[in-house]
Chain A
């Protein structure tokens, strides 16, 4: 037996093990009972190790994951920062584009309303120089038809004038530059003066006598006397007026550059236009305000203000139409929404004051009535401006003919005259004798004498102007020939006044006659300055600055009257 077991020990053990497991299996299957002891042993042996493994795995994995997350957070932070910067740039770009689109629309509307032929340009650079120098460059040059001396405006007002035209760009002297000067006229009393830049945001209007009333808040327009800016363009609003003798100290905020100078219009062919009686419109492009927050569909705010009950209804045309129907329902004691199916609706046959929906939802344009509380659109007709004068934009082209004579004594018709004529005109004034003018005359007299004594230099200048028609001002030629387009004062001067016009004609005819005339004028001015200090010397002082500025800007044919 023992030998048998030894010989078949392996198979015996196998059979025993198999038999034991079969019994175990049969027991479980038959009794449908488990043998928990073996499972407990196994689970007890396995799960602690599994727990340790899971802890190690979770810890290491968590560390790795946190590290990766932190790494990703840093990368994500950088990415978000870059995206934020990019979005800020994009936002700024889009805002600029939107603003640019508004300005372009304003320019387009302004061009459509204005008779003058204009050329749109964009400011591309600023000029160098001192801190008070205000010069910019625009992207249109002589190849686009821009010439030296042309006016530069925006719908808000004048901007400056071209002082140099290059093939691809032009240099524009802004109104705030100390060298800038332009003839202006007040809106209410037609007080004529000279706008001068001072190198700061506000400009000064000189040569308005103290007895002429100018109020703060009043608008100044171009007078058209300087032959650069056509008459009727906005200049600015009066910020302060200080009475003085002989001239008031008036500071004007130029309206053309208050919102920045970006897109401008260059007047290729300026046309005079009427100075409106109504206040200037500040916003050429009307942007409808957002509806009030409570004016949601079904809200009651829109129904509070009945149409035609004082204030104009705000919101869209649909809102106004809804108000009309709501008022009809209220008048008939009809509550919307209460009637069942088949119920009798309110009677809408006669709708009172139904507003006419505007076509296409376009902003109010020329002559359109602006909503209450909203800034008037460019060309919108205010009630006070309907008769007799019409606001800008609704005004038909001005009738051709000479410009009305100025009400004040400020001579504004002399434009772009050479220096000798300027001196001649300086002695010609007939205004009351302000002391300042007298003192100015005294100061001017030595310079006149100097010019008279050294007539060669002046004669050369005059000779050049007289002989070279390309460089001489058309205004001078027109004055000499008695053109119809110049002001009466010019024609008077040209026809035979003792002052400037003969001198000009003589200068045109021959430079030799200039020197005696100048010496004669010098002696006359010297006598006036010494014998009568209060003698009015210089009604021509005001345009003197204009002429200086124009001389800097170059001579060019002035705007025409229509």
Chain B
């Protein structure tokens, strides 16, 4: 893997490189992310702030540079999250679908191999994820969730930092071009 030559914005969609992954990676990594979210906080509660499924959806959407692929990954991971929660199916599905779609759309224009871009995108889509979920819960389920902006921003930053490390690890699972 080699980062681009300092540019953040790409001249065209063709300039970007499409990453390919093996099928088991596409299957096991989202599963591991979901397992991480439901299993690890049992023993390490302080790791409950990590939105590993979101970061995984974001990574695959950015790296695949395919909106359809991104939204499908997002929908699958979101529905799996919904399945393991007490909420009706579709809440996380819709949110992650939108995340996957927009992440893939942005990834077409940006050099997603750049760590700073990854940091910003992770931070931004964490806020987008939380915001969309808040909107949907309020609009569709009538739930009034509170928003703590400081906590939200701090957790966004933490997820962004963790996302950089996670993306770096997942880059090793990419198929060589």
Contact = CB atoms under 8 A, between A and B. Distances in A.
Interface residues of A, number: 27
Contacts of A41: 83
B35 interface: yes
Given A39-B89, A42-B80, A18 B98 contact: yes
A53 interface: yes
Interface centre among B31, B34, B83 (most CB of A within 10 A): B83
A50 interface: yes
B54 interface: no
Contacts of B43: 57
A21 B68 contact: no
A508 to B, nearest CB: 105
A29 B38 contact: no
Interface string A21-65: 110111011000011001101110110011001100100000000
B124 interface: no
A43 B84 CA distance: 7
A14 B71 contact: yes
B122 interface: no
Contact of A13 (B68, B90, B98): B68
A26 B89 CA distance: 9
A10 B67 contact: yes
User: How many residues of B sit at the interface, in one of the four size bands?
Assistant: 20 to 34
Given A9-B68, A25-B140, A53-B39, A45 B31 contact: yes
A45 B28 CA distance: 10
Contacts of B72: 13, 17
Interface string B75-103: 10011101110001111011001100100
Contacts of B67: 10, 13-14
A22 B94 CA distance: 8
Interface in B32-55: 34-35, 38-39, 43
Contacts of B38: 46, 50
B75 A39 contact: no
A21 to B, nearest CB: 4
Contacts of B91: 25
B8 interface: no
A255 to B, nearest CB: 75
A22 B90 contact: yes
A39 B83 contact: yes
Interface in B20-34: 31, 34
Given A14-B71, A38-B83, A42-B79, A21 B97 contact: yes
B75 A21 contact: yes
Contact of A24 (B35, B80, B89, B98): B89
Contact of B68 (A10, A46, A57): A10
B31 A49 contact: yes
Nearest to A9: B68
A87 B30 CA distance: 61
B149 to A, nearest CB: 27
Contact of A28 (B31, B35, B88): B88
A330 B27 CA distance: 95
A13 B79 contact: no
A28 B97 contact: no
B71 to A, nearest CB: 5
B153 interface: no
Contact of A17 (B31, B71, B88): B71
A25 B143 CA distance: 14
B141 interface: yes
A10 B78 CA distance: 19
Closest 7 CB pairs of A and B: A42-B83, A25-B90, A28-B88, A21-B90, A10-B67, A39-B83, A21-B93
23 contacts: A9-B68, A10-B67, A10-B101, A13-B72, A14-B101, A21-B94, A25-B90, A25-B91, A29-B88, A29-B140, A35-B89, A38-B82, A39-B84, A42-B80, A42-B83, A43-B84, A46-B31, A46-B34, A46-B35, A46-B38, A46-B84, A50-B39, A54-B39
Interface of B: 31, 34-35, 38-39, 43, 67-68, 71-72, 75, 78-80, 82-84, 88-91, 93-94, 97-98, 101, 140-141
